[in-house]
Structure 1
Amino acid sequence: MKKAKLIIGVYILFITQPRFLLRAVVNSGIGEETYAPRNVLEGREDSGTLADGIEEMEECFFDTLEKLFVKSGVSPAEIDVLVVNVSMLSPAPSLCSRIVRRFAMREDVRAFNLSGMGCSASLISVNLVENMFRCRRNMFAIVVTSESIAPFWYSGNDKSMMLANCLFRSGGCSILLTNRDNLSSKSIMKLKCSERTHLGANDEAFTCCMQKEDDNGRLGFYLSKTLPRAASRAFAENLKNLAPRILPFRQIVEHLARTCFHTLLTKTSIFKKAMEGRVINFKSGVDHFCLHPGGSALIEGIKKNLGLNEYDVEPSKMTLSRFGNTSASSIWYVLGYMEAKKRLKKGDRVLMVSLGAGFKCNSCLWEVMRDLGIDNNDTIWKGFIDDYPPRGNTINPYLKNLGWLCQENPPQFKSIK
């Protein structure tokens, strides 16, 4: 991954739709140090090729996997299950095959290549490994998660499809999982449970977030105005099924009693007003919330629905600012922030929540096996974790540098002969 500042991306888009794009970027919560594919940084965003996409993925895969094998002491030949999730790019041979070939993995490795799963693909991969572990003991599994942007940068003028250029950035990671009992003392987290919700049968949910061509035949990623409503519904359905599995029994009983009381007595306006705004207290069963940083509006919505405070959503907001929305890998950047800030202590419970096209909401609960963050040089946030959250009054860099685009009569570009 080429590490270079992406100030805005492609300025030609700001020339055609300046006010709309500036508002979108300013309100997104994304900073100016996010990463982009090489072809975008080189000005070839409208001519990305399959080779650009494969190069983008291999840079991420090979770098993270090499570091993972060195850090864990596990060799590629010991891997029993390999799961790769990249939604937009699905070449042949598969991305899985490229990893197997590069690291000379065993011939009997169980390889899965997931595509089209959107931002929630990472936890789908974890759930797949979880089910594999139930069938066989003493296994090693690797989940590789990323997203390809290089061949899919939208260069048209459809506002609903231009938003993806503002929100999505390059990133990825690799995760090692095992069910070997003798390695429990070396593990950093233990999966307690997972929950998957899929609203694909609903027309509105299915079409709110999808890859398609615009009226001029330009391929892009469409984000509908109904996306927040579909996300809220998927999120509510997921938590409804997850809550009984992660909350203390007392909290569940209190919620059921309150619900019954509300049903019986809300006909009286006094009681109705008293019951407004009451939500399940997930903090009684969860210590940390690892939320998908899909955008500032999404984070604020989850914050309100779960009754969280700024401390709870700080990791997601800071991840969005520093790295942008890196699709399915985003939640692992959020987890890395918690580790770098030394928030994760032995016995803590971490709730991961991700949402993605389909429309899907997936979640899982982890238990921290030992204190984490002792060595900040071992996280993706090394070198700049102390700069987050920013102190004092900060000025949005996009508004500061490009605010002139929103003027009534912005300066005109002149050709140079």
Structure 2
Amino acid sequence: MSLLKFVIHYNQYINQSLSFFLPLSFMEFILMMAPFLLALLYPSLMSLLLKLIDQLRNDHGCCYILHYECFKPSDDRKVDTECCGNIIKRNKNLGLQEHKFLLRAIVASGIGEETYAPRNVISGKEESASLLDGIAEMEEFFYETLDKLFHQTGVSPSEIDILVVNVSMISPAPSLAGRIVNRYKMREDIKIFNLSGMGCSASLISIDIVQNIFKSYKKKFALVVTSESIGPNWYSGNEKSMILANCLFRSGGCSILLTNNPVFRNRAMFRLKCLVRTHLGASNEAYECAVQKEDGLGLHGFHLSKNLPRAATRAFFENLRVLAPKILPLRELMRYVIVSRLVRPALGKGNNKTGPTVSFKAGVDHFCLHTGGKAVIDGVGKSLGLSEYDLEPARMTLHRFGNTSASSLWYVLGYMEGKRRLKKGDRVLMISFGAGFKCNSCVWEVMRDLEDENVWENCIASYPPKTLENPFMSKFGWIMDDQNNKSLFVD
């Protein structure tokens, strides 16, 4: 197109655009433009307008949490120092070096003395666990939390439209989801999903399934039931990469009731704002860093490789790269761009060793971190620039309940609620990691002030304790003496 034709077309476009305003009187023009002028003059009005639009948009495809119940096993399933010592003593495959490794791992784990183990492990049947032992472990959790959930909400099992169960390391037939349907006599048209092998990040995968179904079906109830099978998967060998899992994983679980019915908006606890899933399974290194396998003796367990921290870091930052634009205010994104593209290069490479960072606190009020271990909590906290106050819920959950796999996020959330931190309008960021290798995250908006102590009832007042040190080193520290070549628990 020639320059002359471009000018002609441009003039025609301007004339057509202006022709809309020409029949209007001056007063009519002012009235029509008033909302836009007010928005420019008063940014708070624009903010209110945007919030209204956001509310209307989210109510159309909303995903609310009405209630959740975390599982608290009975006291006879607690594993204190003495109980742990007895369990380790029964493993005849462990030598002096393995005992030393276990002692260092337990002391550095951040886990206290009130976590819970399966009944078959407590009773000494960890090397001969049956299928029934695994199913009994799950059913004890299922029925206690679901009974409470239905009672607390007044929602009947017959009203449930969608059921998602995630337990990674046990998959009987009929499925665990089928057992729940049978127990509560749920409807014939219920949509059920039974997930296995998804690891510690499975609960957010379950939430993602629910929210996607909610996009196609209106006014539905959904249940997410999340746990892990510990009993049949206790490792009795001596490979260090596999006995580490015994130090970290503990019994637990959570049942969550969700809905997309706007009628329940005022009853809801949380509304899902966004959810991001990252999977690095295409990378052999990431895929093989957390694998269920058998050792040289044919004993099965969960192998954690030395490449795990690197895979977790990569998955974490890939996830945040997608998440950041969804949750951070424009000013924070602009600050990051300016610093990374203009300020840091101008200062020179010597001043750009760590690179610019995004402050997630600009868009998030609370951080609900996976309790994969003390090192995981420390690493995520350092990457996000979090304070000890921000990390306290994850640290206390690890200390009190251990790593309960996919359900651990909900114990952390329960701690925040029990401490009355969650106020209406706050945003909560959940971050979890899992085998595959996966990093999943989501952001919840708090719909009302929350103060239910949930699973932390009767113990929330004692947290945080004065010290998180456990007594293993004081009781068994003598094993670190190289002169002692005896087994750790010789009578």
Q: Which TM-score applies when normalising by structure 1?
A: 0.95
One of 259, 270, 286 as aligned partner of 1:178: 259
Counterpart amino acid of 1:86?
A: V
Q: CA deviation at 1:245?
A: 0.3
Structure 1: runs of 5 or more not aligned: none
Contact 1:85/1:115 (8 A) holds in 2: yes
Post-superposition offset of 1:402: 2.0
Change beyond 3 A, Cα 1:73–1:247:
same
Where does structure 2 lack aligned partners over 5 or more consecutive residues? 1-72
Q: Which residue of 397, 415, 432 corresponds with 1:319?
A: 397
Residue pairs, 1:243-258, within 5 angstroms: 243-258=324-339
**Residue 187 of structure 1 pairs with residue 264 of structure 2:** no
In structure 2, give the amino acid aligned to 1:35.
Y
Q: What amino acid sits opposite 2:456 in the alignment?
A: W
In structure 2, the residue matched to 1:383 is: 458
| Residues 2, 36 of structure 1: 8 Å contact kept | no
String of CA shifts for 1:318-340, please: whole Å, max 9, x gaps. 00000000000000000000000
Matched residue, 1:151: 232
Q: Does 1:116 align with 2:197?
A: yes
Residues 217-268 of structure 1: per-residue CA shift (max 9 Å, x gap):
1111000011011000000000000000000011111111212126743645
| 2:429 is the counterpart of 1:351 | yes
Alignment partner, residue 11 of structure 2:
none
Q: State the aligned residue count.
A: 409
- Per the TM alignment, residue 397 of structure 1 is displaced from its structure 2 partner at its CA by 1.7
- Counterpart residue identity of residue 214, structure 2: F
Partner of 2:78: 5
**How far, CA to CA, are the matches of 2:275 and 2:250 in structure 1?**
27
Cα offsets for 1:57-84 (capped at 9, x unmatched): 0000111000000001000000000000
> Is residue 281–residue 307 contact of structure 1 (8 Å, CA) maintained in 2?
yes
Q: Which residue of 1 aligns with 2:409?
A: 331
Measured in 2, the distance between the counterparts of 1:261 and 1:176 equals: 47
- Map residues 127-146 of structure 1 onto 2, 5 A cutoff: 127-146=208-227
Cross-structure match for 2:158:
77
Separation in 2 of the partners of 1:112 and 1:409? 55
Alignment of 1:16-165 (within 5 A): 16=95, 17-165=98-246
CA 1:117/1:268 → structure 2, altered by over 3 Å: closer, same or farther?
closer
Give the % identical residues. Answer: 59
Cα shift at 1:400: 2.1
Please tell me whether the aligned partners of residues 289 and 306 of structure 2 are also in contact (alpha carbons under 8 angstroms): yes
**Distance in 2 separating the partners of 1:354 and 1:154:** 24
Q: Provide the secondary structure at the position in 2 that maps to 1:389.
A: coil
Letter of the structure 2 residue corresponding to residue 408 of structure 1? D
Q: Which amino acid letter does the alignment assign opposite residue 475 of structure 2?
A: N
Residue 28 of structure 1 deviates from its aligned partner by 1.0
Q: CA RMSD in A?
A: 1.7
Runs of 4+ in 1 over 3 A off after TM superposition: 262-268, 409-416
1:206-217 equivalent positions in 2, closer than 5 A: 206-217=287-298
Q: Which residue matches 2:307?
A: 226
Per the TM alignment, residue 395 of structure 1 is displaced from its structure 2 partner at its CA by 4.1
Of 294, 303, 306, the residue aligned with 2:384 is 306
Deviation at 1:215, TM superposition (A): 1.1
3-state SS in 2 of match to 1:154: coil
CA distances 1:68-110 after superposition (whole Å, capped 9, x unpaired) = 0000100000000000000000010000000000000000000
In structure 1, C-alpha distance between the alignment counterparts of 2:74 and 2:134, rounded to whole Å: 13
Residues 409, 368 of structure 1: CA spacing in aligned structure 2 closer, same or farther, 3 A cutoff? same
TM-score (norm 2): 0.81
2:478 is aligned to 404
Q: Hey, what's the Cα distance between the residues in 1 that align with 2:468 and 2:130?
A: 38
Q: How far 1:310 sits from its partner (Å)?
A: 0.3
3-state secondary structure, aligned to 1:297: helix
Structure 1 residue 407 displacement after superposition: 2.5
Contact 2:340 2:356 in 1 (8 A): no
1:282 is displaced (CA, Å) by: 0.2
2:361 to 262, 266, 283: 283
Determine helix, strand or coil for the equivalent of 2:192: strand
Change (3 A) 1:306 1:395: closer
Aligned partners of 2:100, 2:80: CA distance in 1, in Å? 16
Alpha-carbon contact 1:265-1:272 (below 8 Å) kept: no
Q: 2:379 & 2:342 partners in 1: Cα distance? A: 26
d(CA) in 1 for partners of 2:479, 2:190: 54
Deviations 1:297-328 (A, max 9, x none): 00000011000010001000000000000000
